Amino acid sequence: MRPGRTGSHAEAMERPVVPLAIVGVIGGLVLLWRSSAPAGPVLVASPTLTPGVVNPEVRQETIGETICKRGWTRTVRPPSSYTAELKLRQMREYGVGGDPSGYQEDHLISLELGGHPTDPRNLWPEPQPRAGEVDRIENELNGKVCSGELTLAEAQHRESELKHRSG
C-alpha cells in the first residue's frame, strides 16, 4: 500500500458505485412515474352543467337531409368567436384552469349526431387529446346511423354515456 492511503483498492471502487446506483434508482422511478401520468387533464362532462341537447331539426326521419348529407354540419357549426368565449366561461364553471388551447369546446351530442349547435347545455370544454379521440368515435357513430345499423336515438345515447363516463 502506498503512503497516505487507507483501505483496499476494492473499497475505493465501491464508494462511487453506491451514489451512482442511488441516482440510477431515483432516475428510474421518475421515468416510471412520468410514463404513468395521464397525457392531459382528465375531465368528464357534467350531467348537470352539460346534459346534452338535441337539434329539433334532426330527427330519425330527417337524417337524410341533415346529418347524413355531406357538408351539413358546416351549415350549423357555431362561429369560433362564440365557442371561444363560451369555453372560457365553462372552464371556470367546471373549475379547470390552464391554457384554453388545451381544451376544445365540444358538443356533448355532436353535430354529426344531431346535437344542438349553440345551446350551452350541449357544449363543454373537452380536454385535448381526448377530444380528438372522441371525434373519431362520433364519426363512426354517424356512419352507423346513416347506414341504418343504429337508430339516431341509440347513437345519441351512446355518445352521451361515453362523454359523461369517460370524457
44-58 tens-digit pLDDT: 999 999 999 999 999
Structure confidence at residue 19 (pLDDT): 64
Amino acid 160 reads S
Mean of pLDDT values over 60-75:
98
Structure confidence at residue 35 (pLDDT): 41
What's the gap between Cα 133 and its chain centre? Answer: 7
Spatial separation of the C-alpha atoms in residues 54 and 121, rounded to whole Å: 10
What's the gap between Cα 152 and its chain centre? Answer: 24
Is the pLDDT score of 82 beyond 70? yes
Is the pLDDT score of 32 beyond 80? no
Which segments of the chain does DSSP mark as H helices, in order?
Answer: 9-36, 72-76, 80-94, 130-147, 152-166
Give per-residue pLDDT as tens, 123-141: 999 999 988 899 999 999 9
Measured N-to-C along each axis, helices 152-166 and 130-147 cross at an angle, to the nearest 10 degrees, of: 160
Q: Note whether 103 and 87 are within 8 A (CB).
A: yes
Spatial separation of the C-alpha atoms in residues 74 and 6, rounded to whole Å: 81
Spatial separation of the C-alpha atoms in residues 64 and 25, rounded to whole Å: 61
Q: Note whether 145 and 68 are within 8 A (CB).
A: yes
Question: What is the DSSP secondary structure assignment for residue 77, as one 8-state letter?
Answer: P
Mean of pLDDT values over 70-90:
97
Structure confidence at residue 34 (pLDDT): 45
Query: For residue 61, how many C-alpha atoms fall within 13 Å in the half-sphere facing its CB?
Result: 1
Lowest mean pLDDT among 13-17, 60-64, 74-78: 13-17
Structure confidence at residue 36 (pLDDT): 42
Q: Where are the domains of the chain?
A: 1-37, 60-166
Give 157's pLDDT tier (boundaries 50, 70, 90): very high
Spatial separation of the C-alpha atoms in residues 105 and 36, rounded to whole Å: 27
